[in-house]
Structure 1
């Protein structure tokens, strides 16, 4: 059932991007609702602005994760990128873990070659191919959805994230998900959504350091199900991409294959 839940909720992201918004709180004409904090300025959270800020920084680490919990079991997909634009090097790590199996791969790109290590249930093998580094755009693209759904988010305070001060914005609208109807969490599963929250952490430069949404619900028989989607940008300007410890093994396999 966990696999079905994961598949359906990935598809639900499309609905999320198109539906989130709801009715804004009363506005007094100043752009500040309920006498509180101003809404997120989407010009500061655009993909174009993120592209510029990360290029100017020269290096960064971007991590995207997606977790589902059902019947007490959690399945998590994590995709992380370490990118050094100045050295033109990157490493991408993908992990899918759950109660049944674990699958991993890493791709290291440097000097026009991509070295990939695949591992499934403890068995590893390698692939080497020519490739320019495309990890920068891949990392930014992973976070694109996070900029589609924050029009009505409200500033609720400041905090520290990855060593920098960030503004915390939040948004919640249960009606967005209730309108999806029965079966949204899986075939035949009626779920009542009990919590839906989006959190965006924005630094002083206008870079969204973290965007996360969580969705929790309860089935008709009382089972709790939940999902979390998260995108984080860390080590901005200080990410280094060393050779992975398996690089020599990958090169040796390439030599053996060529021979």
Structure 2
């Protein structure tokens, strides 16, 4: 991945966190992921406590992704968690890809052990260590968003997501972003923001099944730049976590060591 695109990833995450209360990597202790205070009527955005709803469901898959496009080059980070609280098993997958590099790893947790597979240049390496399953909190923290900061999101209709009927809310406020210019993208020149939209899909239980924001702009020389952050919850109550196909190889490496 080029240093330019990596800068875009880091800087825009920081800027967005300061503007609308997003912290995708950690829980700030303010229960932002629990939805905060929001209108109770259907026309107003109302999101229930994510962690409790997912605990009650017993299993789920959470996928977080972040991508930037600049000069026709795209860099993407994807982090997915399959969590089965009933069986106390999880599988986390992480990938980071760009024009120059790709990084991947998977961590499977079961029976008090964590098995991690790293792949570099087509060659796999394994690590096995004792560990309790912490994937649930990590998955929830990835989707932390302060919904009260966009509680005036507009209900635009209903649709189907992952087989469930959801209400679609949208929020867009360009003026908030125009003051940041190049800082929002990490670009070398000024950027005019042309589109900024937050979309939230909420099911009948008040669980935000998808939260996504997109930010698009244009530099002084006409170059289009774009950023997208997305968090999705699928397989609620129906996710299982089978052994990964590389588990025997990881155990064999541990035995040989």
Residue 50 (structure 2) pairs with residue 38 (structure 1): no
Q: Does structure 2 conserve the Cα–Cα contact (< 8 Å) formed by 1:146 and 1:211?
A: no
- Per-residue CA distance 1:46-92 (angstroms, 9 max, x = gap): xxx11111111110000000010011111110000000000000000
CA distance in 1, matches of 2:76, 2:21: 24
**CA 5–110 in structure 1, closer or farther in 2 if over 3 Å, else same:** same
Q: In structure 2, list runs of 5 or more residues that go unmatched.
A: 23-38
Identify the residue that residue 176 of structure 2 maps to in structure 1.
Answer: 176
- Per-residue CA distance 1:166-221 (angstroms, 9 max, x = gap): 00000000011112244331153210000000000000000000000000000000
Residue 182 (structure 2) pairs with residue 164 (structure 1): no
Residue 2 (structure 2) pairs with residue 5 (structure 1): no
Identify the residue that residue 77 of structure 1 maps to in structure 2.
Answer: 77
- Per-residue CA distance 1:125-171 (angstroms, 9 max, x = gap): 01000000010111001111263532121111000000000000000
Q: What is the 5 A alignment of 1:1-259?
A: 1-18=4-21, 38-41=43-46, 44-45=47-48, 49-145=49-145, 147=147, 149-257=149-257
**CA 209–18 in structure 1, closer or farther in 2 if over 3 Å, else same:** closer
Aligned residue pair count:
237
Q: What is the RMSD of the two structures over their aligned residues, measured on CA atoms?
A: 1.7
SS of structure 1 residue aligned to 2:79: strand
Q: In structure 1, list runs of 5 or more residues that go unmatched.
A: 20-30
- Per-residue CA distance 1:223-254 (angstroms, 9 max, x = gap): 00000000000000000100000001101111
